[in-house]
Amino acid sequence: MDLRFSAEDETFRAQVREWLAEHLVGEFASLGDAGGPGREHEGFDVRRAWERLLGEHGWIGLGWPASAGGRGATLMQQVVFHEEYAQARAPHRVNHIGENLLAPTLLACGSEEQRSRFLPPIRSGDELWCQGYSEPDAGSDLAKVKTRAVRDGDDWVVTGQKVWTSLAHVADWCFVLARTDPSASKHAGLSYLLLPMNQPGIEIRPIVQITGTSEFNEVFFDGARTAAENVVGEPGDGWKVAMATLGFERGVATLAQQIGFARELDHVMELARRTGAIEDPIIADRLTQSWIELKVMRYTALRMLAEETPGAEASISKLLWAPWHQRLGELAMAVRGEGALDLTGGELDELQRLYLFTRSDTIYGGSNEIQRDIIARRMLGLPRG
């Protein structure tokens, strides 16, 4: 298996680099790599303007087919784009959920009308999305969703509650998993609805995180409406469509995420050198081990992409990176030593935020226990425990 980039990929890399050098200037450049998990509050308006600039120049929807307004970029070109983007320290994107979760779902399961209505404003950076799956009693066991959607003339009327809905407070639309047939068995009675967020039947309450910031929310639907045609797939197909979305959750962006990880590790390493903590053999050993494991993750991710087998293998990737990232947060605190978590200075600094936010890495996107369950059942064929 050849894990190297081709000459065409390298030409593409030069184009991306040149574009970023020309456009990532002024207020965009001064933001650095602001945003992202735990930092979504940073420079939001500027990041939104940056998103639109990316859209104008065709950098959103790179991998979508040309017929859907994309560039039809190969997998390796998408990897190249993400790598260069992260290397340039460009701001974190504001519409990851629209571009990387909803758009591929519409390409795979949506109607032609849905694609032509919803893809262009994602590509131009004009409409932001959030994901309405989890509920107070439906997280890992998602099929227990209780939010109801009932047909009323040409509309669906939605009532219920979602929780942990990332970025709902800035989203224009939400893809909602709702129960449309309460008489059907657990998985069969669900539908996947596209619902506008700016309407009277929706209340959004922010949840304050351990970091003191707030990027996810409780979302209450009380007679919220969406047009009858805004169901992806048929009514009752919701489970299948929702699982298709989850399959897109970890793709080529994994490699860009690792560039962010490498930067964080460099930061910890540099601090250890500066403070002398690196003289401690246990700290030196932990830093070395982190570096090795990051390399292993990179080659594993490249191999998985080259094999184009994102199925249950994505669970292996999550099980590698989430605990690794948590350990890095713990290592950062060990390097800082006594008083590392002294928060009396007001705002958290980068490493404190890293330590606190990484507590959630093993929960979101499917908890580690659930990933192990997927591997046990789908890859090893073991019986349900």
Ligand X SMILES: Cc1cc2nc3c(=O)[nH]c(=O)nc-3n(C[C@H](O)[C@H](O)[C@H](O)COP(=O)(O)OP(=O)(O)OC[C@H]3O[C@@H](n4cnc5c(N)ncnc54)[C@H](O)[C@@H]3O)c2cc1C
Site for ligand X in 136-155 (CB under 6 A): 139-140
Do residues 190 and 240 lie in contact, with contact meaning Cβ atoms separated by under 8 Å? no
State the DSSP string of 210-272.
TTS---EEEEEEEEEEEETT-EESSTT-HHHHHHHHHHTSSSTHHHHHHHHHHHHHHHHHHHH
Over 324-379, what HEC string results?
HHHHHHHHHHHHHCCCCCCCCCCCCCHHHHHHHHHHHCCCCCCCHHHHHHHHHHHH
The nearer residue to ligand X, 167 or 351, going by C-beta atoms, is 167
Contact track, ligand X, 343-362, x by CB under 6 A: -----------------x--
**Minimal distance, residue 167 CB to ligand X, in Å:** 7
Q: Among all residues, whose Cβ is closest to ligand X?
A: 139
Cα separation, 29 vs 46, whole angstroms: 10
Which of 373, 375, 376, 377 lies at the binding interface for ligand X (CB under 6 A)?
Answer: 373
**Minimal distance, residue 164 CB to ligand X, in Å:** 3
321 binds ligand X (CB under 6 A): no
Site for ligand X in 192-251 (CB under 6 A): 216
134 binds ligand X (CB under 6 A): yes
364 binds ligand X (CB under 6 A): yes
From 56-64, 127-135, 197-205, 304-312, span contacting ligand X (CB under 6 A)? 127-135
- Looking at 125-242, which runs of residues are DSSP E strands? 129-132, 148-152, 155-162, 173-179, 190-196, 202-207, 216-227, 231-232
The nearer residue to ligand X, 291 or 364, going by C-beta atoms, is 364
Kindly tell me the sign of the dihedral angle through the C-alpha atoms of 307, 313, 314, 318: negative
Catalytic residues: 249
Cα separation, 129 vs 114, whole angstroms: 15
369 binds ligand X (CB under 6 A): yes
The nearer residue to ligand X, 50 or 216, going by C-beta atoms, is 216
166 binds ligand X (CB under 6 A): yes
The nearer residue to ligand X, 95 or 134, going by C-beta atoms, is 134
From 158-166, 190-198, 200-208, 339-347, span contacting ligand X (CB under 6 A)? 158-166
Cα separation, 55 vs 120, whole angstroms: 10
Residues that bind ligand X in the complex, under the rule CB under 6 A = 130-134, 139-140, 164-166, 216, 360, 363-364, 366-367, 369-370, 373
